Amino acid sequence: MVVVMAADATDEDVARVVAKVEEAGGQAFVSQGVLRTIIGLVGDIDGFHSLNLRAMPGVAAVHRISDPYKLVSRQHHPERSTVWVGRSGAQVPIGPRTFTLIAGPCAVESPEQTLEAATMAKAAGATLLRGGAFKPRTSPYAFQGLGARGLEILAAVGEATGLPIVTEVADARDVSAVAEQADMLQVGARNMANYGLLQAVGECGKPVLLKRAMTATVEEWLMAAEYVAQRGNLDIVLCERGIRTFEPTTRNTLDISAVPVVQAASHLPVITDPSHSSGRKDLVVPLARASIAVGADGLIVDVHPDPEVALCDGPQALDRSELRALAQAVRQLPPLVGRRPASASSPH
């Protein structure tokens, strides 16, 4: 941490800052320039925050040098992590050497629709099944999901197809019920900063898929992951799902730069969601290709046997014929960037 003194700061101002830091058990190194004095602090950086140095006379600015997140940072964990999803013996990796396709319906609507979507997803190369039972929608009048019944349907379809399941949990009170059935718990964009929910999934014992909020910076997103990690759960996969910009042709703008930016800052795997970011089926495959090329560790994609009658997000769902191009991209492109398609195996 560096304290920058104002141009008109006095020697007493500098001495007061040094004394306060030393009283708190830290060390302060004063460097006097021609115009400015800066003070380098060494010690308990988080503790220094409570000293409120910025409010002291003569202090112009206080800058943090180290990452504010620790457990998810690559500074102390240089090797990139692999997160394994599924039951023992048949777990699917999400990490730096593989490419993982998660696909399925946006929402679980019925046993038939879910099974058909899962079969399509599997045929396209998906090794994890997505499906929403609890759907936090922008409008309270929109379909909110089948809830507990949806979860049962998804679990049965996961069992029938052999695909581990990924599903959203939107309320801390539902975490243990969802964790009983799901292989991976998704925290959606709208809940990225729901700290009680993040702490609850941090204690659930299952891997977590943490979506980026549409208005969150990379740092805010990684701080949200830190909440999960702090509760003992480091099995976190980050999902870039588009951010809100001025551009109205897509629902959100897929921040493709965020993939390598986050991979440099954090050891956690990063996937993208070309369906929810664009809101348009015609953009899903181009954005999927771009995601593979930029180094994403996987994709999560909406599929539906009949998108025209989908209860949720039909315009972005791929049908059987549209899935062919996605299947081809997921089969052909990862090997060009040194990855193999992820399949179920045992962690090693």
Using CB under 6 A, list all residues that contact ligand PEP: 106, 132, 168, 188-190, 211, 241, 273, 276
Nearest-approach distance from CB 91 to ligand PEP, in angstroms: 22
Residue nearest to ligand PEP (CB): 188
What's the rounded Cα separation, in Å, for the pair 204 and 155? 17
What's the rounded Cα separation, in Å, for the pair 27 and 39? 10
Q: Which CB sits closer to ligand PEP, 211 or 304? A: 211
Q: Which CB sits closer to ligand PEP, 3 or 192? A: 192
| Interface with Mn ion, residue 106, by CB under 5 A | yes
255 binds, among Mn ion, ligand PEP, none (CB under 5 to 8 A by kind): none
289 binds, among Mn ion, ligand PEP, none (CB under 5 to 8 A by kind): none
Q: Which CB sits closer to ligand PEP, 75 or 215? A: 215
Q: Which CB sits closer to ligand PEP, 274 or 305? A: 274
Choose among 134, 188, 184: nearest CA to 163.
184
| Interface with Mn ion, residue 273, by CB under 5 A | no
Nearest-approach distance from CB 12 to ligand PEP, in angstroms: 53
Of the CA atoms within 13 Å of residue 327, those in its CB half-sphere come to 16
Nearest-approach distance from CB 247 to ligand PEP, in angstroms: 17
Q: Which CB sits closer to ligand PEP, 211 or 267? A: 211
How far apart, in Å, do the first and last CA atoms of the chain sit? 39
Nearest-approach distance from CB 132 to ligand PEP, in angstroms: 5
Q: Which of the ranges 104-112, 245-253, 288-296, 323-331 carries the binding residues for Mn ion, by CB under 5 A?
A: 104-112
211 binds, among ligand PEP, Mn ion, none (CB under 5 to 8 A by kind): ligand PEP
Return the sign of the alpha-carbon dihedral for residues 331, 79, 179, 346.
positive
What's the rounded Cα separation, in Å, for the pair 16 and 19? 5
Residue 38, φ and ψ in degrees, nearest 5:
-120, 150
| Interface with Mn ion, residue 109, by CB under 5 A | no
Of the CA atoms within 13 Å of residue 209, those in its CB half-sphere come to 33
Asked if residues 178 and 185 have their Cβ atoms less than 8 Å apart, the reply is yes
Q: Which CB sits closer to ligand PEP, 24 or 218? A: 218
What's the rounded Cα separation, in Å, for the pair 234 and 268? 8
What's the rounded Cα separation, in Å, for the pair 207 and 271? 14
Nearest-approach distance from CB 190 to Mn ion, in angstroms: 11
Determine the residue type at 172.
A
Q: Which CB sits closer to Mn ion, 106 or 342? A: 106
Nearest-approach distance from CB 41 to ligand PEP, in angstroms: 39
125 binds, among ligand PEP, Mn ion, none (CB under 5 to 8 A by kind): none
What's the rounded Cα separation, in Å, for the pair 109 and 314? 12
Residue 286, φ and ψ in degrees, nearest 5:
-55, -40
297-326: contacts with Mn ion (CB under 5 A): 313
- State both tokens at 307: 């998108």
What's the rounded Cα separation, in Å, for the pair 100 and 297? 7
Name the site residues for Mn ion (rule: CB under 5 A).
106, 313
